[in-house]
Amino acid sequence: MSAVRFDDCRELVFREASRQAHRLARRYDLQPADRDDAFQEIVFDAWRRLKDYRASRGELVAFLGVVTLNQARRIEARLRRRRRTVDVSLDAPIANGSNDAGLIVSDSFSEEHGLPALLGNKVDGHARVEMLIDLSRAIVSLPSEMRRLCACLAHETPGVARHVCNLSNTGMYRQIEALRLHLLAFGFGTL
């Protein structure tokens, strides 16, 4: 697509993105700055995908409508996830009828439970043991150079691990991506 076509499409892209951003703002009672952020994300995605438009497959208006709607749905899913999580301060007092006067939320978590407990994950001892067994199975199935990298990353910063494992920046990122996908196949992490 030439630069002239992009200029011809500008108003159409902005109109469709604005429509979707306003829909999100109404549905989720977004602040003006959040609505503007959503608008910019939708516009950027539409510009990026405009090169994939084929006139033989349909009207440009319909194409942009689908592209902007899909991006708005991705933003909407992110907003729903963010609203499902409860923001609780660790310094908030625990309010119940017992003699817990003066206790705060951070007092209710033991140090051994750590960050997973704060994020709402299971801290059951049996679940932790099962997870460690699954993780050790996943690590054992790694190639030796990836096991070495994994061991380095457990105790060192990525920069130090890169030097210890003799990797370039690009090689380090590729190894970490391969490691992430390998662990994902074993049920650790998300896409």
Convert the pLDDT of each residue in 154-190 to its tens digit. Answer: 888 888 888 888 999 888 888 888 888 888 888 876 5
Cα–Cα distances (Å) from 6 to 12, 47, 112, 151, in that order, read: 10, 8, 56, 49
pLDDT digits (tens, 9 = 90+) for 65-92: 999 999 999 999 998 888 877 666 667 7
Q: Which domain holds residue 127?
A: 122-185
Task: Specify if 39 maps to a domain.
Answer: yes
**pLDDT at position 2:** 38
Task: Let me know if residue 112 belongs to a domain.
Answer: no
How many folded domains does the chain comprise?
Answer: 2
| Res. 4 pLDDT band, cuts 50 70 90 | very low
Tell whether 25 is covered by a domain.
yes
Q: What is the torsion angle, in degrees rounded to the nearest 10, for the CA atoms of residue 95, residue 101, residue 104 and residue 107?
A: -120
Do 50 and 1 touch, CB atoms closer than 8 A? yes
Q: What's the whole-model pTM score?
A: 0.47
Q: Is residue 115 part of a domain?
A: no
Question: Domain check: are 126 and 180 in the same one?
Answer: yes
Residue 54 in any domain: the answer is: yes
Which of 52, 60, 63, 49 shows the shortest CA–CA distance to 9?
A: 60
Among candidate residues 58, 84, 110, the one where a domain is terminated: 84
Chosen domain end from 28, 61, 84: 84
The enclosing domain of 28 has a CATH number of 1.10.1740
Tell me the CATH number at 152.
Answer: 1.10.10
Give me the chain's average pLDDT, please.
82
User: 97 in a domain, yes or no?
Assistant: no
Q: What is the pLDDT of residue 21?
A: 95
State the Rg of the chain over Cα. Answer: 24
Phi, psi of 19 (to 5 degrees): -60, -45
